[in-house]
Structure 1
């Protein structure tokens, strides 16, 4: 099949591209990092060639806001469109740029999918649930707390009844997230702190902050399963909430077991500056009608990821 992956040089997109190119003709279209930053000093674009060193397909560089982005997709005549390109930083509060980038452009993606009778699979987000009680369930208590989350919920509404599949990712971690900079998972950030022999820094009350952490290999499998899913919105998580304290403990125990760390480092607790826009407990309610099922527990995922983390630490 001809498969387009927008934002395919980013974290989730590149993992999917590297897998799908083994059996399909894949076009990755991405803006790529150009060192531009938002007013909060966060990077605008996370795509990088470094995520595509294993990729054997076509690559095209274009901005989501430019006509050539859509012209290239159109000329490729895709059978499947995976749409990841977006402003994904939840701390960007410029509503105009977030909505123009995430909402306005989505109408064009849907039109292209319709024109080519292509299956459309797009990135939604668990952030749409805001403070919803766990387990978070599609269609219930969807009250976004930032422009990014609102844009994703709006995309879900736009895609309704089109046959498109929206995947609400919970806290994804794994290979190729390093280039997300400060928005990389706390699993990677804690690991690098520990490998630097620095006390891991957690927010005060972290023993009561629980998230649904899902490994990138499970997320890739979910995206592949989505090709055969009925149109609709589905959660993609592990289905189990774990604390940030657990992450630090798992990392330190694994590093001790491997002889890299002599003993557990003492944790340091700092104030949480994001309390007004923070999700304190997330846990995905998985849909029985969607064939995706997670394989990796948090322990298994971190253990599988650890060699990559150590390589990042040694090369940074």
Structure 2
């Protein structure tokens, strides 16, 4: 067997980091959740449900400890456990699970979530007191308006504590009742200091979410699935906006959606590299920006 044939994907990912001159990757958009919830998520992808609309084979369908080991083999220095409720009464127990996961997984950034319900500010405060460092909001799956008055106390807490929140707020892969730049723009007008990380670069309303990042210094965007062959087929990133990616270099963060991706992890990195924005940009996106945002050593 030749040396090339003997290479693993982990070798390719680590070589990418070495080539651009970073100690490893920081991935702000990875999913770890209770097994019964994850099984339902995977079953949805397997069914080619209406939110996907096409085959979506899960590339890393393994047990939890194997998935953690895979990220470590890739040289991912820090990652998240993005999880989210789709109805009232779920968020608090999801947060209990994620606190336990973070306690036994020190390279995971302690992640929490919320839903518009009367107890939301209370359990968000409890999660923050317990060490939560990043939150996830999924406006598409949760089908809620981020400006619901039940969330006012939540957004106030996150703004006052400068805690990042990753929000799936773009209308990809299909629009929801409260997706798109309008609801998020209204939210930011009310809480302009929010550290809001727009998942998937705001796909497919890329330009509109770049506008928000230019207007509000706390707005970041993660690269999750953007620029990959899979996403370019359905929602290509506008060539006219490539220059803006360079101008917003300090506000773009690596995200991948691991393990729920239909292609190898390294493809996300190669998709970023082929944008042609240079090694300084790649270093910032794949390590430096998130290391600064989360005060990583």
TM category (shorter chain) comes to 0.3 to 0.5
| Structure showing greater Rg | 1
Structure 2 length as normaliser, TM-score?
Answer: 0.37
Structure 1 length as normaliser, TM-score?
Answer: 0.35
More helix by share: 2
